[in-house]
Structure 1
Amino acid sequence: MPSGTRPAGTGRLVTGVAWAALLLGLWLWGREATEGLGGSSAPTTGDIAAVGRPLGVELPPAHDPIAEAEPRRVEIPSLGISAPVVARGLDATGAIDPPPFEMAHTVGWFGSGTRPGAAGAALLVGHVDTDTRPAVFYGLSAARPGAKVRVTRTDGSVAEFTVDDVQVHPRDHFDPSKVYGARDPRRSELRLITCGGTFDRTSNAYTANVVVSAYLTAAERP
Structure 2
Amino acid sequence: MSDPRPSRPARLMTAAAWLLLLLGLWLWGRESGLPALPGTRDADAAGVQLPPAHDPLPPARPHRVDIPAIGVRAPVVRRGLDRDRAVDPPPYDRPGAVGWYAGGTEPGRAGAALFVGHVDTESDPAVFYDLSALKPGQQVRVLRADGSLAVFTVEDVEVLRRDRFDPARAYGERRAGRAELRLITCGGAFDPATGSYAANVVVSAYLTGTGA
1:41-76: CA deviation from partner (whole Å, max 9, x where unpaired)? xxxxxxxxxx94333111000001010100000000
In 2, the alpha carbon distance for the partners of 1:207 and 1:201 equals 11
1:194 deviation in Å? Answer: 0.3
For the residue of structure 2 that corresponds to 1:141, the secondary structure is helix
1:166 deviation in Å? Answer: 0.2
- Find out whether 1:154 has 2:161 as its counterpart: no
1:151 alignment partner AA:
V
**2:119 is matched with which residue?**
128
In 2, are the aligned partners of 1:144 and 1:163 still within 8 Å (CA)?
yes
Per the alignment, do residues 20 and 215 of structure 1 end up closer, same or farther by CA in structure 2, a change over 3 Å counting? farther
In 1, the alpha carbon distance for the partners of 2:54 and 2:197 equals 35
TM-score normalised per structure 2: 0.83
In 2, the alpha carbon distance for the partners of 1:90 and 1:133 equals 28
Which structure's residues are more often helix, by fraction? 2
1:25 deviation in Å? Answer: 5.8
In 2, are the aligned partners of 1:52 and 1:167 still within 8 Å (CA)?
no
**1:171 is matched with which residue?**
162
Sequence identity percentage = 54
1:94 deviation in Å? Answer: 3.9
In 1, the alpha carbon distance for the partners of 2:57 and 2:92 equals 32
In 2, are the aligned partners of 1:21 and 1:177 still within 8 Å (CA)?
no
Equivalent pairs, count: 192
TM-score normalised per structure 1: 0.79
- Find out whether 1:67 has 2:58 as its counterpart: yes
Unmatched 5+ stretches in structure 2: 34-40
Aligned pair partner of 1:113 in 104, 109, 128: 104
What value does the CA root-mean-square deviation take over the aligned residues? 2.3
Q: Which runs of 4+ in 1 moved over 6 A?
A: none
Unmatched 5+ stretches in structure 1: 1-7, 27-50
**2:79 is matched with which residue?**
88
For the residue of structure 1 that corresponds to 2:93, the secondary structure is helix
